[in-house]
Amino acid sequence: MPKSSAFQARVDVAEGRLSLAGDCRAADLGTLEAALREWAGAGSRSVDLSAAGGFDIGPAWILKRAMADAATAPAVSGSLPAHFAYLDEMLDGTSVRTADIAPQPREPAGLVRLGRALEVRGESWYEALTYGGKLISTAGSSWRSWRHLRIPSVVRHAYETGYQAVPVVAVIAFLISVISAYISAQQLRPYGGEIFTVDIVAVGVLREFGVLLTAIMVAGRTGSAYAAELGVMKLNDEVDALESMGIDPYEVLVLPRILGLVIALPLLTIVADFMGLFGGAILTRYLIDLPWPQFYMRLDEAIAPTTFWAGLVKAPVFGLLIGLTGTLRGLQVRESSRELGRLTTVAVVQSIFLVIFADALFAIFFLEIDF
Amino acid sequence: MAATTPEVVISVRDVVNRFGPQTVHDGVSFDVHAGEVFGIVGGSGSGKSVLLKTMLGLRKPDSGVVEVEGHDITCMSERELRGVKQRYGVTFQHGALFTSLTVTENVILPMVELFALEEATLQSLAELRLRMVGLPVDAGAKFPAQLSGGMIKRAALARALALDPALLFLDEPTAGLDPIAATAFDDLVLYLRRTLGLTVVMVTHDLDTLARTCDRVAVLVDGKVIVDTLPGIVRNDHPWIREYFHGARGRLMAAAGEEAQRGA
């Protein structure tokens, strides 16, 4: 064992000589690299290793390569690192010159990249289509018997996505209706129309806010959970394991999740509607001194029999959209943990987008049919 | 090796590991010598992984001392421990390659984190590690999901070698490999040990790997450890060890071997 001493590298630019002294460990790679670069600039004519100690294999390798890259083989004084023998044996006659190494494939040009991106996009749409098709056929066949409908699983998902989300949905619905009641009351006061705060809150909550906020909340909560759960199962080969047992993963994994959500979202919406009206009632009671019975009477006049249903009917559709997006993105996870993160994000963003887009379509539709 | 006192690289003294009421290691002591391949075997739940984690400094033992190159790692600060950790390389059972990085990126990750080096140098060093473990250089651009099981093990070894460790820990290096790939991996470990003077600690269940590569074997039974050369261990009278080496599988292998010899 040579006595250990600090590594030193000196380059004599005029002579093109590299002098190394002391032990060169992996931690000295940076020093060695800088010296080698300078040496290459000076023509790399000779190496002085007479004061050099032991070399780790990494430094030995980059020294060897730098010596091979020199235009003419540099003159060596002192003994070469012991690992050179190992490297020669490992290389077995193949060259170490940088020029002889096959270059890494270059980044493709803009047009190629565009084409690839389009291809990926197209595949994604195609996958979504086939996914929908498979799901419909699975739903069709599992409808025929109770056993294939997986009631316990559906109930569990409805419980997890619905019941467990009640506190957060209730609080959010309450706060949003309080905010909208406060703003409406303030805007209507100059016209003496504070009483119509009740109309705004009731119609707003029942038709739009209740269901929309619930759906966005659930998209963030459940859409991401579905995508992550299925994604991890996919990475773990659990989906393939199910398939190999002759069990349809769409029937056991996908359909119960979607059905659970389609059941849970309307129920959550009812909770949100109730809490929203409750928040509006409290605020009008204390902000514009409207007693409870009057609030109730005004409410009765403000809303048509269809107002409540106009909101509620959207809930199962939103649930379906969130469930479809979450499960589809989860099953698209392949190969890497980064994919899992990316697709979970995509699942949430897309389901929120789809929910809002569908809400807009509903608004136009209801306007047209005067619902 | 027996003539002179061998240099001790890792010294484990009276290590006790408990999980609640369950005592996994009840006073485990052994030494790992410089330049040897040290095998660790034991039944499921006998605490092989816990022992490995304790030796790596990833877990503090409930009592006892683990010394790596003369320094007690059980009472080290985070910073000191990091210095020790840079001296060893580890491969995990399933490779534990980062799935979102290419093989080359996996291999250079420790170097990128620790040293400021130029991209060209890093690429060159990655190429060295790939060549060292016998992977084709173009495998570097692939993602772990595109590799076979044997290639993943090799890529994991390449990453473990990235910082020029003196000490290598391998957790089940040949599990899940076909006999040819497993033999090739054993040869690789022996070759690196011979040429680079590495000290290797491996947890393995592969009797062939044990026989081919390990100088000494530690068997974990009943919370204790028995260390001996492989022939010594095989002659041991402990019922579990007898079952392990002379059980149905061991006998079948021996019988098949004899049959083949008679046939030849």
Residues of B in contact with A335 (CB under 8 A): 99, 143-145
Per-residue pLDDT for B253 more than 80? no
A79 at the B interface (CB within 8 A)?
no
What is the tens place of the pLDDT at every residue in B6-18?
A: 788 888 888 888 8
| Contact status, residue B38 vs residue B229, Cβ threshold 8 Å | no
Per-residue pLDDT for B262 more than 70? no
Which of A37, A58, A336 lies closest to B99 in CB terms?
A336
Secondary structure (3-state) at A304? coil
* A175 band by pLDDT with thresholds 50, 70 and 90: very high
Dist. CA A257–CA A160, nearest whole Å: 10
Check A56 against B164: CB less than 8 A apart: yes
A339 at the B interface (CB within 8 A)?
yes
What DSSP line would sit under A91-133, residue for residue? HTT----GGGSPPPPPPPPHHHHHHHHHHHHHHHHHHHHHHHH
If you measure CA to CA, which chain B residue comes closest to A27? Answer: B115
Per-residue pLDDT for A2 more than 60? no
Mean pLDDT of chain A: 86
Residues of B in contact with A26 (CB under 8 A): 86, 111, 115, 163-164
Q: What pLDDT score was predicted for residue A363?
A: 92
pLDDT above 90 coverage of chain B, percent = 0
Sign of CA dihedral A20, A21, A26, A28: negative
CA distance A238 to chain B (A): 16
Rounded to 5°, the CA angle A95-A96-A100 comes to 70
Q: Count the Cβ atoms, other than its own, within 10 Å of residue B104.
A: 23
Check B121 against A104: CB less than 8 A apart: no
Check A336 against B143: CB less than 8 A apart: yes
Show the tokens assigned to A232: 């991890």
CA distance A247 to chain B (A): 25
Which of A30, A90, A335 lies closest to B131 in CB terms?
A90
If you measure CA to CA, which chain B residue comes closest to A90? Answer: B132
B137 at the A interface (CB within 8 A)?
yes
Of these ranges, A262-276, A323-337, B121-135, B183-197, the one predicted with the greatest mean pLDDT is A262-276
Of the ranges A196-210, A345-359, B111-125, B157-171, which one carries the lowest mean pLDDT score? B111-125
Pairing type for strands A75-77 and B8-19 reads unpaired
Check B124 against A61: CB less than 8 A apart: yes
If you measure CA to CA, which chain A residue comes closest to B139? Answer: A104
Q: What pLDDT score was predicted for residue B1?
A: 43
Dist. CA A329–CA A356, nearest whole Å: 19
Burial class (CB in 10 A: 0-12, 13-18, 19+), A46: middle
Interface test with B, best of A62, A95, A100 (most B CBs within 10 A): A62
Residues of A in contact with B144 (CB under 8 A): 335-336
Rounded to 5°, the CA angle B8-B199-B107 comes to 140
Q: Which residues of B140-176 are buried (b: 16+ CB within 10 A; e: fewer)?
A: bebbbeebeebbbbbbbbbbbbbbbbbbbbbbbbbbe
Dist. CA A262–CA A272, nearest whole Å: 16
B82 at the A interface (CB within 8 A)?
no
B255 at the A interface (CB within 8 A)?
no
Q: What pLDDT score was predicted for residue A99?
A: 67
If you measure CA to CA, which chain A residue comes closest to B114? Answer: A27
Mean pLDDT of chain B: 81
Dist. CA A60–CA A40, nearest whole Å: 16
CA distance B199 to chain A (A): 15
Q: What pLDDT score was predicted for residue A171?
A: 95
Size of interface A-B (CB pairs under 8 A): 71
* A274 band by pLDDT with thresholds 50, 70 and 90: very high
| HSE toward the beta carbon, residue B244, CA cutoff 13 A | 23
- Mean pLDDT within A124-136: 88
- Mean pLDDT within A42-46: 77
Nearest in space to B168 (alpha carbons), one of B201, B215, B203: B201
- Mean pLDDT within B181-185: 83
Strand order in the sheet with B37-42: B88-91, B167-171, B199-203, B37-42, B216-221, B224-229
Interface test with B, best of A7, A25, A57, A338 (most B CBs within 10 A): A57
The one-letter code for the residue type at B44 is S
- Mean pLDDT within A118-122: 91
What is the tens place of the pLDDT at every residue in A182-197?
A: 999 899 989 988 888 8
The one-letter code for the residue type at B20 is G
What is the tens place of the pLDDT at every residue in A241-255?
A: 888 887 888 888 999
Dist. CA B227–CA B8, nearest whole Å: 15
Show the tokens assigned to A182: 């406060």
Q: What pLDDT score was predicted for residue B2?
A: 47
Which of A86, A98, A339 lies closest to B195 in CB terms?
A86
Check A62 against B131: CB less than 8 A apart: no
Dist. CA B192–CA B154, nearest whole Å: 13
Per-residue pLDDT for A91 more than 80? no
Q: Count the Cβ atoms, other than its own, within 10 Å of residue B107.
A: 29
B221 at the A interface (CB within 8 A)?
no
Of these ranges, A117-121, A284-288, B15-19, B83-87, the one predicted with the greatest mean pLDDT is A117-121
Interface test with B, best of A240, A336, A340, A342 (most B CBs within 10 A): A336
Check B164 against A334: CB less than 8 A apart: no
What is the tens place of the pLDDT at every residue in B91-123?
A: 887 778 888 888 888 888 888 877 778 888 888
Contacts of B234 (CB under 8 A, 6+ apart): B245, B246
Find tokens 């173009």 and name the residue.
Answer: B138
If you measure CA to CA, which chain B residue comes closest to A55? Answer: B164
Instruction: Give Cα A65 to chain centroid, integer Å.
Output: 42
Per-residue pLDDT for A1 more than 70? no
* B162 band by pLDDT with thresholds 50, 70 and 90: confident
If you measure CA to CA, which chain B residue comes closest to A340? Answer: B100
B76 at the A interface (CB within 8 A)?
no
User: Could you report the predicted ipTM of this complex, rounded to two decimals?
Assistant: 0.71
